Structure 1
Amino acid sequence: MINYLKESTFAVKDVVMQAWKVTRDNYFSIATLCFLVFITASTSTLMAFFLEELHVGIRAVMLLIFILCYCVIELCLIKYILRLLDHTENEEIQIVDTLPTRKEVIKFLAGTLYFGLSIFFIVVLLMPVLFIIDWVIKFLYHQDLISNLKAVGDVIVNVAVGIAILSVFIIFIRIIFYPFFIIDKQSPPFESIKLSLATTKGNFVKLLMIFAGLVAVQAVVFAFFYAVIRMGFELINWIFDYNINQYISLIVVVFSSFVIVPFTTAFFAVAYRKIMSEYKGDEHPDIIHNIV
């Protein structure tokens, strides 16, 4: 187990360094897509603020448009970074050539729907357990074995929420690579999810450490980014009496669009390539034997 953790640690370091190298060397070309992410996120935020009085149907249609735009940009970013990882020195990669096709976008949306259904399935599985726990607590209360029913109920609710969040996180880690299979292998949505389950089987600890490394790196970068921006605003505030708090949302959107999105995509693209290079399983795996 110790050796496995050491190997996982080195894997995290390799993924971080390679993802950083790809992002650093190609950032100005990636920044074009980042700018589109920023425009989409900013526009959706402004529209949500100014169009609160519109009909629900119109807002739903606009929300779907923004989701579709974001999906297209994210898939384009995935395809572009995969091309960067695989290209030769003499090969020139154009962003236009990495635009996702309509079929790929539909597959991605279908895969996202499957992800939502898997979360719903987990919730359905948890419901009988909660009903049984609720019945047991009420029985103990009527038997005067529990004095504070509300306090115990609050604890059970918190535990249930924690279990649900943990379940969603585990599902997210296991099927996180399904967009990469859609883009890289042209796999159907459900097949992509099965391939993600198969390739991540036995690598959960490694993926967990990779994800923890990603969060740690982004936390450090965000702290530095926020400190620099805050110092700049404090200087402006000292001169012009501006309030930085009204710009917090803008800072978060800028950081997310130009730092989190490109580095996260590069991070998981590198992890996908590494795990696929080690995968020795079936090209068409079944889902049952790869869940656990």
Structure 2
Amino acid sequence: MIDYLKESSFAVKEVIFDAWKVTRDNYVSIATLCFLIFITASTSTFMAFFMGELHVGIRIIMLLIFIMSYCVVELCLIKYIFRLLDHENAEITIIETLPTRLEIGRFLVGAIYFGLSIFLVGILLMPVLYILELILKFGVNQGIFNNYTQAGEIIVNISVGIAILSIFFTFIRIIFFPFFIIDKHVTSFESIKFSLATTKGNFIKLLFIFVGLVLVQAIVFGFFYIVVMTGFRLINFFFDYDINQYISLIVVVFSSFVIVPFTTAFFAVAYRKIMSEYDGDEHPDIIHNIV
């Protein structure tokens, strides 16, 4: 077990280093796609203030346009990073990495499967809630809890914790489905099955990788926040500005130009690492790869 944890720690360092390297060395070219992400995110944020006054049909159309735009840019970024990983010294244009209509369609359907998987996990947790209710009644009858309110609060907290862990586990197991659609050109359902198959037995390693990603992003965001706040404090010496009105813009800029590119590169590198170790079936099923 100790050797496995050491191997997992090494895998995290390797993934972080490779993701940082590909992002740093190619950030100028990646920045173009980041700008498109920024335009999409900022426009959707801006329109959110006015969409409440529009007709329902127009709001649905606008929402679909923003979702489609974000999907296209994100898939383009995934394909672009794959090209960078496979051809380090080659000149790659954004036009070459535009996703096809088939890939976009598969991604959208895969996203629906992704949501249904999370919903299914919630359904499967219903028996657990029933058992917790029985424990609630037993605890009150035996005097373990003073009343139903106290017991209810404890059991609600336990239920929420179980739900979060279950959803998080499901999220990690099927997070790679877009990469299979772009890299292996498989269907939406096949991408979910491949994600389950390749992540089987690697949950601890994936957990380490995910925690490593969160820590790196937290450190970068902390540094970014300190720099921005320092800049606004300096400006306040000469002008009276309220930073609160710029919070949403700061978050959108940071997410578009830092979080999204590095996270995409991070998961692309992790995907390639896991695929290099995968020796399973070329046509995996779901039942044998869930646990």
Q: What TM-score comes out, normalization by structure 2 length?
A: 0.96
Deviation at 1:56, TM superposition (A): 3.0
Please say which of residues 137-146 and 52-61 is displaced more in the overlay.
137-146
Task: Mark the CA change 1:246 to 1:281 in structure 2 (over 3 Å): closer, same or farther.
Answer: same
Task: Mark the CA change 1:143 to 1:210 in structure 2 (over 3 Å): closer, same or farther.
Answer: closer
1:175 has 2:174 as partner: yes
Equivalent residues in 2 for 1:135-284, closer than 5 Å? 135-138=134-137, 140-141=139-140, 146-284=145-283
Q: Which runs of 5 or more structure 2 residues have no equivalent in the other structure? A: none
Deviation at 1:53, TM superposition (A): 2.0
1:60 partner letter: I
**Partners in 2 of 1:23 and 1:129 — Cα distance?**
43
**Partners in 2 of 1:125 and 1:8 — Cα distance?**
30
Aligned to 1:30: 30
**Partners in 1 of 2:111 and 2:161 — Cα distance?**
23
Please say which of residues 97-106 and 148-157 is displaced more in the overlay.
148-157
Post-superposition CA distance 1:237-266 (Å, at most 9, x none): 121011212211111110000000000000
Deviation at 1:107, TM superposition (A): 0.5
1:74 has 2:74 as partner: yes
Aligned to 1:10: 10
Assess if the C-alpha contact under 8 Å between 2:140 and 2:151 holds in 1. Answer: no
Deviation at 1:127, TM superposition (A): 1.5
Please say which of residues 67-76 and 56-65 is displaced more in the overlay.
56-65
2:51 partner letter: L
Matched-pair identity in %? 73
Task: Mark the CA change 1:143 to 1:14 in structure 2 (over 3 Å): closer, same or farther.
Answer: closer
1:131 has 2:130 as partner: yes
1:63 partner letter: L
Deviation at 1:145, TM superposition (A): 5.8
Post-superposition CA distance 1:43-85 (Å, at most 9, x none): 1111111222223332222112111111111000000000100
Aligned to 1:62: 62
Assess if the C-alpha contact under 8 Å between 1:234 and 1:244 holds in 2. Answer: no
Deviation at 1:113, TM superposition (A): 0.7
Deviation at 1:138, TM superposition (A): 3.6
Please say which of residues 47-56 and 115-124 is displaced more in the overlay.
47-56
Assess if the C-alpha contact under 8 Å between 2:113 and 2:189 holds in 1. Answer: yes
**Partners in 2 of 1:7 and 1:250 — Cα distance?**
40
**Partners in 2 of 1:47 and 1:162 — Cα distance?**
35
**Partners in 2 of 1:148 and 1:59 — Cα distance?**
47
Deviation at 1:157, TM superposition (A): 1.5
2:24 partner letter: R
Assess if the C-alpha contact under 8 Å between 1:181 and 1:192 holds in 2. Answer: yes
Assess if the C-alpha contact under 8 Å between 1:8 and 1:206 holds in 2. Answer: yes
Q: Which runs of 5 or more structure 1 residues have no equivalent in the other structure? A: none
Task: Mark the CA change 1:193 to 1:227 in structure 2 (over 3 Å): closer, same or farther.
Answer: same
**Partners in 1 of 2:135 and 2:62 — Cα distance?**
46
**Partners in 2 of 1:152 and 1:211 — Cα distance?**
34
1:117 has 2:116 as partner: yes
**Partners in 1 of 2:176 and 2:83 — Cα distance?**
16
**Partners in 2 of 1:25 and 1:145 — Cα distance?**
60
Post-superposition CA distance 1:186-229 (Å, at most 9, x none): 00111111111111111111111111111111111111111111
Assess if the C-alpha contact under 8 Å between 1:22 and 1:84 holds in 2. Answer: yes
Q: What TM-score comes out, normalization by structure 1 length?
A: 0.96
2:62 partner letter: M
Deviation at 1:114, TM superposition (A): 0.7
The number of residues matched between the two structures is 291
**Partners in 1 of 2:141 and 2:4 — Cα distance?**
50
**Partners in 2 of 1:121 and 1:186 — Cα distance?**
26
Post-superposition CA distance 1:7-26 (Å, at most 9, x none): 11111111111111100111
Aligned-partner SS, 1:100: coil
Deviation at 1:267, TM superposition (A): 0.5
Task: Mark the CA change 1:88 to 1:130 in structure 2 (over 3 Å): closer, same or farther.
Answer: closer
CA RMSD of aligned residues (A): 1.4
**Partners in 1 of 2:204 and 2:139 — Cα distance?**
39
1:83 partner letter: R
